[in-house]
Amino acid sequence: MSFPSSVDVAIIGAGAAGLGAAHALRGCGLSVIVLEARDRLGGRAWTVQASPEVTFDVGCGWLHSADKNSFVPIARQLGFELNKDLPPWRERAFGNAFPQAERDDFMRAMDAFYERLWEAAQKGRDEPASLSLEAGNRWNPMIDAISTYINGCELKDMSTLDWDAYEDTGLNWRVRRGYGALVATYGAPCPVALNCNVALIDHSDKRLRLETSQGTLTAAKAIVTVPTNLIAEEAIRFSPQLPAKVEAAAGLPLGVDDKVTLALDDAEAFPKEANLRGATMRTDMGTYHIRPFGQPCIEGFFGGSFARELEEAGDGAIAAQSIDEIAGFLGNDIRRKLRPLYESRWAHDPLARGSYSHALPGHAGDRAVLAAPVDGRLFFAGEATSPTFFTTAHGARDSGERAAKEVLAALGKP
């Protein structure tokens, strides 16, 4: 679309939040544009064809809390097939790297940790989640590894109250064609300017002035949906400055979760949808999904400080670590059957700088601070502003819809 000089509502970011806002404003008689710095829709939702046989979600892949996930009805409406198979992370262990008796012992320790965490939250303690670990428990390093998968960070950096606020109904589905493909299709009807980076939002005058890589435009209202790290690091600036927003964003940093997919030769010799991980007794470990959707591949998943270290080691380091660890579990012969296809490096993505948000200890209240409108003209959305579904694509989408309703209320529109 042609780049306008003036609109009623400018939406910054064409991830799930920005697209949710744009959809909610359709048919309202307002001129709207979504400004997206990338050359594609979806943000941290991104599906690639890693090989002719393997579809890979580089970003989000699970429709968490599927019974409350707003992308479920959207998927059905758009003709995307949903997969309702049980996720592999508790069931369907493969190999002998993590014997069942040890898995059972680990799960008992994990459940006891969750109970202590819940009890601490009921007392209103916004403390590091690591304080709920049982001193000396042999499984503590692996419990910490699970936190890196869930939160993108270790337990010492995770707010107990924030963890408790997250709503998980336990129902996790997938999109066969890819979650990223679903989000991109959802956004296709929206008015989007791609390759349009917003550097400054000047709200000193009656109308907002946005400086972008495609020129300057003015708007009556703006919805900001960029990741918290970009606000905290002032990659997008406000004039006058908004120190409360910058501080809240800094209290909600993006952790790191990275994924890799490896082509698997002789795939029929391996079970579909199997889980592989070992009783490694360390936090620096991956977890592996064998033949997702029956595809001839193994997906690896890494989180927290270990994922950051692997990213720092350069392209290919995540795949190399995965192959080494899988060989350690299944034997060296597996190496000749594995070939790297695609890996994410979200911390090194300049437009994300991480994967999804977690509240630092003492900062659980920052989600509400970040979500609050400013002067009835600046509105904020994104997964980090969701009170209960943060870290998820549907939480982001719903927050965009919420921000759009706030815009309409400010304009006096029903």
CA distances from 394 to 16, 165, 254 (A): 7, 16, 17
Which amino acid is residue 303, in one-letter code?
G
Beta bridge partners of 380: 224
**240 phi and psi, to 5 degrees?**
-60, 160
Angle between helical axes of 140-151 and 100-122 (0-180°, round to 10): 70
Q: Which two tokens stand for residue 239?
A: 């004039």
pLDDT for 2 beyond 80: no
Q: What mean pLDDT is predicted for residues 87-104?
A: 82
Q: Which of 158, 373, 125 is nearest to 244 (CA)?
A: 373
Angle between helical axes of 317-330 and 304-312 (0-180°, round to 10): 120
Which amino acid is residue 36, in one-letter code?
E
Global pTM reads: 0.96
pLDDT for 93 beyond 90: no
Q: Are 12 and 392 in contact (CB under 8 A)?
A: no
Nearest-Å Rg of the Cα atoms of the chain is 22
Share of the chain above pLDDT 70, in %: 99
Angle between helical axes of 16-25 and 393-410 (0-180°, round to 10): 40
pLDDT digits over 42-69, tens only?
Answer: 999 999 999 999 999 999 999 999 999 9
pLDDT for 389 beyond 90: yes
Cα dihedral 170, 175, 179, 184 in deg (nearest 10): -140
Sign of the torsion formed by the C-alpha atoms of 205, 208, 209 and 210: positive
The full DSSP string for 360-380 is PTT-TTHHHHHHS-BTTTEEE
Confidence of residue 90 (pLDDT cuts 50, 70, 90): low
The least confident of 14-23, 116-125, 276-285, 366-375 is: 276-285
pLDDT digits over 120-137, tens only?
Answer: 999 998 999 999 999 999
pLDDT digits over 185-241, tens only?
Answer: 999 999 999 999 999 999 999 999 999 999 999 999 999 999 999 999 999 999 999
